[in-house]
Amino acid sequence: MSTTSQQTKLKAAIIGCGRVSIKHIKAISKLSDRIELCALVDTNPDAPNNLLSGSKLKGSKLSAIKSTMKSYLNYKDMLEEVHPDIVAITVPSGMHYDVAKDCLLAGANILLEKPMTMSNTQSRELYNMAESKGLRIAMGHIYRYFPIVSLLHEDMVNGVFGKVGHGAVVVRWGHENEYYNQAAWRGTWKSDGGALMNQTVHALDLMCYLMNTEATKVNGMIANRFRDMEAEDTALGVFTFANGALCQVEGTTATFPNDHEASFFINAEKACIRIALRKGKPSYSITTPKGKNRAFKYLRRYIKKQGLSYTINVAKNPHYGIYHDLYHAVTTKTQPIADARSGYLSVDMVLGFYKSVLFKSEIALPLAEEFPIEEMKSVNLK
Ligand SMILES: NC(=O)c1ccc[n+]([C@@H]2O[C@H](COP(=O)([O-])OP(=O)(O)OC[C@H]3O[C@@H](n4cnc5c(N)ncnc54)[C@H](O)[C@@H]3O)[C@@H](O)[C@H]2O)c1
């Protein structure tokens, strides 16, 4: 960490230079007055350069990053030499725990991609570790950073919407077999999970955030209808939340890849909230009991609070919001919006869902003990 007369600058590193890391490097390059990228790490020696060229950064932005950044093959060497303030962990999900633990032990704050880990107890261990060391964990729960979402959460906390009746989530995030065949870890129980753990976990977290509550029970069913992978491509289930609301969930990767859709519905006493993302286009409707749509008012309020440039940046790349927020959390010793708690609670929700499939019964949440995800190998999904 270095402090000039203007402000503190944090040293950042990215471990894992694959698909999602492009979002990270783009976000960091837009926050270059606060965050300096010092290291890119990947076991594949070509990956850091591929990331830089794939990011399409040009001119002064690219040369600024190249001038401060060094590549490493081994993240432990990087931690020893660089002593980063922030480490983004973008390795396959099955490796999150080991890498995150080493980063926390090295005294780094982390931006951990979702899911937090593949285990409910390991996720809690990371949370406890960060708490005891006074370090921050920001989760890659991008939906929390979509425009107006934080205002909806704030109004829910302040009782503006009244009692919540129920909610519904649909995540139809199609991926063909080629996606699963890209890397050995994809679609496996041990290192990735299926449509729930990889794609739908974001949405489960968002429903808890929007409803300002936590899941207490789950009952689910899963299947593998179309994809050649070990885990599920389709999941349907119902959560019960601590506020009494029920929430229906559909998560699938068995739909067409060119027609991605994620939609969220909350039925409350004083408003019906609908947020949808279809083929990359967001839509919002916050309907009052008299049928008026307040979405535009929320957007105006959001822009007034956050500024137009921030709003445009998060709309284009929500990872920008995560870095912006993590910077604030580290420098002011507060918690980020997508904090470590959101990480372990959403892993709990997914593993509880899987457990209810395995035991064919309703499961109480949060899970009281470890549920080893590899037990799911015994379930016949076809
Ligand atoms: N928040 C989001 O929107 C979002 C989107 C996509 C992926 N993700 C998550 O990000 C993670 C990575 O996904 P991806 O699609 O980028 O995967 P990927 O396979 O494309 O990239 C992973 C990279 O990690 C590297 N790697 C593997 N072991 C390593 C090690 N020991 N040290 C350093 N590098 C190592 C691989 O060589 C590869 O380049 C997953 O956990 C995934 O769930 C999050």
| 293 neighbors 286 (Cβ within 8 angstroms) | yes
In a domain, 263, yes or no: yes
| Local confidence band at 5 (pLDDT 50, 70, 90 cut-offs) | low
Q: Do 119 and 168 belong to one domain?
A: no
Q: Do 83 and 119 belong to one domain?
A: yes
Q: At what angle do helices 21-30 and 318-332 cross, to 10 degrees?
A: 60
In a domain, 377, yes or no: no
Reported as a single tens digit per residue, the pLDDT across 86-112 is 999 999 999 999 999 999 999 999 999
Tell me the residue range of the domain where 202 lies. Answer: 143-364
Q: Do 136 and 151 belong to one domain?
A: no
Rg (CA), the chain: 20
Reported as a single tens digit per residue, the pLDDT across 272-292 is 999 999 999 999 999 999 999
In a domain, 373, yes or no: no
Reported as a single tens digit per residue, the pLDDT across 308-326 is 999 999 999 999 999 999 9
Q: How far apart are CA 373 and CA 358, in angstroms?
A: 10
Q: Do 154 and 132 belong to one domain?
A: no
Q: Which of 187, 177, 183, 195 is nearest to 42 (CA)?
A: 183
CATH number at residue 345: 3.30.360.10
Ligand 1 binding pocket mutation candidate from 26, 43, 71, 322 (most atoms within 8 A of CB): 43
Q: Do 110 and 148 belong to one domain?
A: no
Separation of CA 363 and ligand 1 centre (Å): 30
Last residue of a domain, one of 113, 141, 169: 141
Task: Give CA torsion, residues 111, 116, 121, 127, to 10 deg.
Answer: 20
96 CA closest ligand 1 atom index: 41
Separation of CA 18 and ligand 1 centre (Å): 5
Reported as a single tens digit per residue, the pLDDT across 250-263 is 999 999 999 999 99
The CB of 183 under 6 Å from ligand 1? The reply is yes
CATH number at residue 74: 3.40.50.720
Separation of CA 91 and ligand 1 centre (Å): 4
Provide the residue type at 238 as one letter.
V
Number of folded domains that form the chain = 2
| Local confidence band at 1 (pLDDT 50, 70, 90 cut-offs) | confident
H-run or E-run covering 39: strand 35-41
Nearest CA to ligand 1 atom 7: 20
3-class secondary structure, 230: coil
**Is the pLDDT reported for residue 239 higher than 70?**
yes
182 CA closest ligand 1 atom index: 19
Reported as a single tens digit per residue, the pLDDT across 322-353 is 999 999 999 999 999 999 999 999 999 999 99
